[in-house]
Amino acid sequence: MIIAISITLFFIILRFAVTLFNFISNPKLHRVVKQYNDKVSILIPARNEAGNILTLLQSVHEHDYQNYEVIVLDDESTDDTYAVCSAFAANHPRFRVIKGGKLPEGWIGKNYACDQLAKHADGKYLLFLDADEQVKPGLINSAVHRMHLHQLGLLSLFTNQQMNTPGEQAVVPLMHFILLNLLPLRLIYLVKNASVAAASGQFMLFDAAIYHKHQWHKAVKNKVVEDVEIMRLIKTEAYNGEALLANGMISCRMYKGYYEAINGFGKNFLAAFNYSIIGFLIYILLIIGGPMIVVMTLNLPLLFFMIGLILLTRIMISLLADQSVLNNIIMHPFQMLNMLFIAVISIQKYLTGTTVWKGRKI
């Protein structure tokens, strides 16, 4: 019991220290006054996104960056995605829509869509966005500035998350929670070792010359968590990579409702641990089982110490992610239960080979 409590407290203190580092270092994309004019190719893979994508296209059209093109790839959609995007492109010359090819054996759908998009782009930078996002003024110029400032091969942003239902609030904040109390984001750029890597496929800005040379999406064609794998490859090849928080300049509603969020996280969680079931279970045991052991001791000073660190951690993460502090504190027990639920689903789907996303087995 004493050993279990000691390990639990060490892990909580360690996570608090990482969160504190992130809070103090403030790893956000900052707005800049200096204006850039490098051509940016905005590339959007879209599969069954007819109900979402117009918001993104309109926000890009209203954006303040001047030199850009937008290419949407309809990835074998079974809804009106192609018709909706084509109608928009017909009235906006910088936008065009292409039909994606049939998914080859050995590829993940999104990776193949991105690979095709890159072949049609001629910008100095390639910006891959998801179809369910919305960009805000200053985003692209600030991101291009960052590319120049640090001579980056890849800049990835963790977008602000829009959550419209209690079910989403009980699941979606887990993304920033896990990220910001396990990894000091600033180290992704500062440490050149490829083992220190994180990225989000919701915003991936590449130096086009480097991308075309290495064909990054082709290099990770069968990887579910392709964003992190690409960041590792970027660093392995001795290019600079950086991952930052979006600072309100791009937002995304990842999932609509509780069950979609559970299913969506279920396909990614185990992959984020490199499919190590043992490593994943140890993490879950430490983050959920450990605190329960401390609670059972009924040791009030120990309980107050643990709860205080957890509360401070949730406050700092919420502020960094531009999320409601009060909501995340209230929802914390439910989010931990959902993390356990997601872990069970993720392992079960992996062992049975039944992971499906947007109608495709992955």
Read off the pLDDT of residues 52-83 as tens digits, 9 standing for 90 and up: 999 999 999 999 999 999 999 999 999 999 99
User: Is residue 1 predicted with pLDDT exceeding 80?
Assistant: no
Least confident of 14-18, 206-210, 275-279, 331-335: 275-279
Contact criterion met (CB below 8 Å) for 174 and 272: no
- Whose structure tokens read 């993304």? 175
CA angle 128, 228, 362 (to 5 degrees): 85
pLDDT tens readout for residues 212-259: 999 999 999 998 889 999 999 999 999 999 999 999 999 999 888 999
Are 160 and 250 contacting, i.e. CB atoms less than 8 angstroms apart? yes
Among 7-11, 43-47, 317-321, the minimum mean pLDDT is found in 7-11
Distance in angstroms between the alpha carbons of the first and the last residue of the chain = 41
Instruction: Provide mean pLDDT across the span 118-142.
Output: 97
- Euclidean distance between CA atoms 134 and 56, whole angstroms: 5
The domains located in the chain, with CATH, are 2-25+258-361 (no CATH), 40-252 (3.90.550.10)
362 has pLDDT over 80: no
Is the confidence at residue 297, as pLDDT, over 90? no
**What's the rounded Cα separation, in Å, for the pair 294 and 3?**
11
Lowest mean pLDDT among 179-193, 204-218, 267-281, 290-304: 267-281
Calculate mean pLDDT across residues 28-44. 96
Q: Place 316 in a pLDDT band, splitting at 50, 70 and 90.
A: very high
What integer is the mean pLDDT of 87-111? 95
What pLDDT, on the 0 to 100 scale, is given for residue 273?
75
**Contacts made by residues 52-55, CB under 8 angstroms, sequence distance 24+:** 52/131, 52/132, 53/81, 53/84, 53/85, 53/131, 53/132, 54/84, 54/88, 55/132, 55/134
pLDDT score of 4 = 78
- Does the CA dihedral 10-14-19-24 come out positive or negative? positive
Per-residue pLDDT, averaged over 175-196, amounts to: 94
Place of tokens 């075309």: 212
The confidence score (pLDDT) of residue 238 equals: 95
Least confident of 110-114, 328-332, 338-342: 338-342
Residue type, 57: L
What is the rounded radius of gyration, in angstroms, for the C-alpha atoms of the chain? 21
Query: Could you give the C-alpha distances from 185 to 8, 156, 162, 244, in angstroms and in order?
Result: 23, 11, 22, 7
Which residues, including other chains, have CB under 8 Å from residue 211's CB and lie 6 or more apart? 118, 126
Q: Which two tokens stand for residue 179?
A: 């990220």
State residue 242's pLDDT score.
98
- Residues 13-30, mean pLDDT to the nearest whole number: 96
201-213 average pLDDT score:
97
Question: Please, what is the average pLDDT of the chain?
Answer: 92
Cα separation, 12 vs 181, in Å, equals: 9
